[in-house]
A = this chain, B = another copy of it.
């Protein structure tokens, strides 16, 4: 049973999904170890997963079992279900929507022990290209409004299988946080007639102190109001291009800066658990003058408390300027 329920008081939707496998145990280590023999994402165990949507070799050509380098499969325990009709209905005073969407897993490498911080540029480029392809394909499903690519790295960040993977979830709604970001940047645009994200980049370039690294087309920094220690954002310098259509040069540079950041975090924080999310445009919009796609990387190193739950205010014990300085210094 999968359905979306609107929260009447806190607003936004929540998903009830009673098909999910729930793991109530916590674990001390970064990863919950699964060995290669039992890993559903390893060579030879393809039968453990649903039939792949995409399977490529490193040249980007279609590949068969035992020859693939990157593989996209439907999540076996999906957050939302791809089949069914999108229906909205009342339930007494409450509001319900059928749990329609897509939940895919990109198995980023066939190597069980390789993680993003040790990817080659070529490997990372392939992940980005496959992601672009999946977004373009899912855009054709008119029931869908938004796609979120995200990564759960490490047990504390919600990782289930320790073999490197990124998920994407396609939704029948524009989610609350994206709506908020869009509304805030729209308000800013209405006053300034400039993109909020572009202005933040100018400020960061002027201040210098929160920048970690940059190349021709991308910049990585710790946000002024970082919600956790060592939060990192990666932004394209040029305004509001569509992630789905960035060219090969930019895909290459995005890979380069991403690997650099993952390497730095690995060394600085001793292989921390983290979540990564990519905020792109809503599917039914091609260009918005006020929104700017970006990547957010949030290390999972602190427990959240009742204060955060009750206020929505994060308490960060590390100055973003200090975190950036520390990361800059790591080779």
| Contact (Cβ within 8 A) A8 B184 | yes
| Assembly CA distance A28 to B16 (angstroms) | 27
Given A225-B5, A279-B310, A306-B277, A18-B181 contact (CB < 8 Å): no
Interface check A51, CB cutoff 8 A:
no
Residues of the B chain whose Cβ atoms lie less than 8 Å from the Cβ of A278? 310
CB contact between A296 and one of B180, B310, B319 (< 8 Å): that residue: B310
Given A171-B311, A312-B175, A314-B14, A275-B180 contact (CB < 8 Å): no
Q: A78-95, CB under 8 A of B: which get 1 and which 0?
A: 010000000000011110
CB contact between A203 and one of B92, B279, B312 (< 8 Å): that residue: B92
| Contact (Cβ within 8 A) B9 A196 | yes
Question: Secondary structure at chain A's binding surface: helix, strand, loop or mixed?
Answer: mixed
| Contact (Cβ within 8 A) A303 B155 | yes
| Contact (Cβ within 8 A) B15 A306 | no
| Contact (Cβ within 8 A) B152 A306 | yes
Residues of the B chain whose Cβ atoms lie less than 8 Å from the Cβ of A184? 8-11
Interface check A71, CB cutoff 8 A:
no
| Contact (Cβ within 8 A) A181 B10 | yes
Given A312-B175, A314-B15, A306-B276 contact (CB < 8 Å): yes
Interface check A207, CB cutoff 8 A:
yes
| Assembly CA distance A87 to B91 (angstroms) | 47
Task: List residues of A (277-331) whose CB comes within 8 Å of B's CBs.
Answer: 277-279, 296, 298, 301-307, 309-320
Interface check A6, CB cutoff 8 A:
yes
Which residue of chain B is the closest to A304 with respect to CB atoms?
A: B158
Interface check A206, CB cutoff 8 A:
yes
Which residue of chain B is the closest to A224 with respect to CB atoms?
A: B94
| Contact (Cβ within 8 A) A8 B304 | no
Segment touching B, from A19-27, A58-66, A117-125, A244-252: A19-27
Say how far A186's CB is from chain B's closest CB, in angstroms. 11
Residues of the B chain whose Cβ atoms lie less than 8 Å from the Cβ of A298? 309
| Assembly CA distance A20 to B184 (angstroms) | 30
| Assembly CA distance A12 to B131 (angstroms) | 32
Task: List residues of A (32-58) whose CB comes within 8 Å of B's CBs.
Answer: none
Say how far A165's CB is from chain B's closest CB, in angstroms. 11
Residues of the B chain whose Cβ atoms lie less than 8 Å from the Cβ of A169? 307, 311
Interface check A13, CB cutoff 8 A:
yes
Given A9-B196, A14-B227, A157-B275 contact (CB < 8 Å): no
22 contacts between A and B (CB under 8 A): A7-B227, A8-B188, A10-B177, A10-B227, A11-B180, A13-B225, A15-B313, A22-B318, A148-B311, A151-B306, A155-B303, A156-B303, A171-B311, A171-B313, A175-B310, A176-B312, A176-B313, A275-B306, A275-B310, A277-B310, A278-B310, A296-B310
Which residues from chain A sit less than 8 Å from chain B, CB to CB?
A: 1, 5-20, 22, 24, 26-28, 79, 91-94, 148, 150-152, 155-158, 167, 169, 171, 175-178, 180-181, 184-185, 188, 196-197, 199-200, 203, 206-207, 223-227, 229, 275-279, 296, 298, 301-307, 309-320
